[in-house]
Amino acid sequence: MSIGRRTMKLYYHPLSGHAHRAHLFLSLAGLDHELVFVDLAARAHKQPDFLRLNPFGEIPVLDDCGTIIADSVAILVYAARRIGPSPWLPTDPVAEAQVQRWLSVAAGKMAYGACAARLITLFGARLDPDEVIARAHATLAVMEETLGAVTWIAGTEAPTIADVALYSYTHHAPEGNVDLGAYPAVRAWLARIEALPGFVPFAASAVGLLA
């Protein structure tokens, strides 16, 4: 069900996990939105029109009828507050702190691990594959231990934006030669997210372990 009558615009690219997490949550939350393709290969994200939306020249960017929100995690927080009180972003101090903790993991450890490994195989990034794959497995090991005891990553009864933030690059970790075989609890968690109403998949690429 759509919330409100406003249609948001999400500037995105289909191969960006950061953009996918924003798209995924807008869909899960039932927020009307349209996707605006940003041609990264043509460096559209570095052109003056786009830089007025995000001076860092990065996607995704959300335009909510003139309210501009840049950065995928910021978009998740904004959209969660936009729909009003909900389990997606708890207000209980302990639960909210746990959500924020995993949002930090998504923006840090995940970005420099599984995300970075995928950048090598998909875009030819000049990074040390052994280093970033090791980082990815270190993060997955903590996620596996956590999800062995809880249903959702922040320990809540319902999914939160922390689960959304971590989904895209975790699911596509094999594209960066990061094998998920040793993480059954993580794989089960991915399946739970994929079963949520409004779920939208992240476009797959035949690289890494998927080649």
- The CATH number given to whatever domain includes residue 60 is 3.40.30.10
Model confidence band, residue 5 (pLDDT cutoffs 50, 70, 90): low
Angstrom distance (rounded) from CA 4 to CA 6: 6
CA distances from 10 to 6, 22, 116, 162 (A): 13, 8, 23, 20
Tell whether 155 is covered by a domain: yes
Boundary residue ending a domain (29, 51, 82): 82
Burial 111-144 (b: 16+ CB within 10 A, else e): bbbbbbbbbbbeeeeeeebeebbebbbebbeebb
Tokens representing 37 are 């393709």
Co-location of 101 and 204 in the same domain: yes
Percent of the chain at pLDDT > 90 equals 88
Co-location of 164 and 183 in the same domain: yes
pTM over 0.85: yes
Boundary residue ending a domain (57, 82, 107): 82
Co-location of 38 and 131 in the same domain: no
- pLDDT of 4 > 90? The answer is no
The side-by-side arrangement of strands in the sheet containing 67-70 is 33-37, 8-12, 61-64, 67-70
Tell whether 2 is covered by a domain: no
Tell whether 198 is covered by a domain: yes
Tell whether 184 is covered by a domain: yes
| Strand blocks (E) in 38-166 | 61-64, 67-70
Co-location of 131 and 69 in the same domain: no
Model confidence band, residue 195 (pLDDT cutoffs 50, 70, 90): very high
Model confidence band, residue 187 (pLDDT cutoffs 50, 70, 90): very high
Task: Compute the average pLDDT of residues 72-85.
Answer: 95
Tell whether 180 is covered by a domain: yes
CATH code of the domain covering residue 109: 1.20.1050.10
84-128 per-position pLDDT tens digit: 999 999 999 999 999 999 999 999 999 999 999 999 999 899 999
128 backbone dihedrals φ, ψ, rounded to 5°: -80, 110
Q: What is the pLDDT of residue 7?
A: 85
**Structural domain of 188:** 93-210
Boundary residue ending a domain (82, 110, 142): 82
Tell whether 3 is covered by a domain: no
Say if CB 56 and CB 11 are below 8 A apart. Answer: no
Domain count, the chain: 2
